Amino acid sequence: MTILTTERLILRPWREEDLEPFAAMSTDPKVMEHFPSTLSRNESDAAATTIGGEIETHGFGFWALEVPGVAPFIGFTGIRTVTFEAPFTPAVEIGWRLATPHWGKGYATEAARAALDHGFGALGLAEIVAFTIPANTPSQAVMRRLGMTRNEAEDFAHPKVPPGHPMSRHVLYRLRAEDWGKQV
């Protein structure tokens, strides 16, 4: 199973011990501000099992993020196949979710760079996308730091969010392999 490392981080498969700190993140209204709701312990465990299982099945996914010497689990970052149909699918997305004490340190961007290197390198992907709601400016800032670009014409209604819900509309960012290649 693929493990990625950066200067400060390890992107690794999930462990049983990650469930508790992940559940704490999942009930934190700050972490979940841009999602329709926080998650119960059961929902959080189920999400972790799904995410962790994808890494076992496909060899890549939303890896658990460890900061050696700092914390064994601070959240996740990685790439996974988009699990719904939209005008831009099939596609592989990049995503991140960190516990609040670990915001503002560059961890999400550093981990995402390793995930993009792996996606465009070892996996040979032609393009990786990212999406969020317009209000999630910290997440869009990560996307832009990575060189991803948004075309407003590609905003979409997330099919897993009820139509008309204030968090239905999403923005889409894209990054093509040749443009990532230009940066490294």
Ligand X SMILES: CC(C)(COP(=O)(O)OP(=O)(O)OC[C@H]1O[C@@H](n2cnc3c(N)ncnc32)[C@H](O)[C@@H]1OP(=O)(O)O)[C@@H](O)C(=O)NCCC(=O)NCCS
31 sits near ligand X (criterion: CB under 6 A): yes
CB of 179 to ligand X, least distance (A): 19
| CB of 53 or CB of 106, closer to ligand X | 106
**CB within 8 A of 86, min separation 6: which ones?**
156, 158, 159
DSSP state letter for 154 = G
CB of 67 to ligand X, least distance (A): 11
Cα–Cα distance between 99 and 16 in angstroms, integer?
17
Structure tokens at 70: 């700092």
Nearest residue to ligand X by CB is 106
98 sits near ligand X (criterion: CB under 6 A): yes
Long-range residue pairs from 64-67, CB within 8 A, at least 24 positions apart, any chain: 64/11, 64/12, 64/13, 64/14, 64/15, 64/18, 65/9, 65/10, 65/11, 65/98, 65/107, 65/111, 66/9, 66/10, 66/12, 67/8, 67/9, 67/10, 67/102, 67/107
Count of residues near ligand X by CB under 6 A: 19
121 sits near ligand X (criterion: CB under 6 A): no
Cα–Cα distance between 55 and 66 in angstroms, integer?
16
CB of 108 to ligand X, least distance (A): 3
The pattern of x and - marking residues 140 through 159 that bind ligand X according to CB under 6 A reads: -xx-----------------
96 sits near ligand X (criterion: CB under 6 A): yes
Cα–Cα distance between 100 and 97 in angstroms, integer?
9
Region of 81-89, 105-113, 120-128, 155-163 interacting with ligand X (CB under 6 A): 105-113
The pattern of x and - marking residues 54 through 93 that bind ligand X according to CB under 6 A reads: ----------------------------------------
Which residues of the chain form contacts with ligand X (CB under 6 A)?
31, 34, 95-98, 103-109, 132, 136, 138-139, 141-142
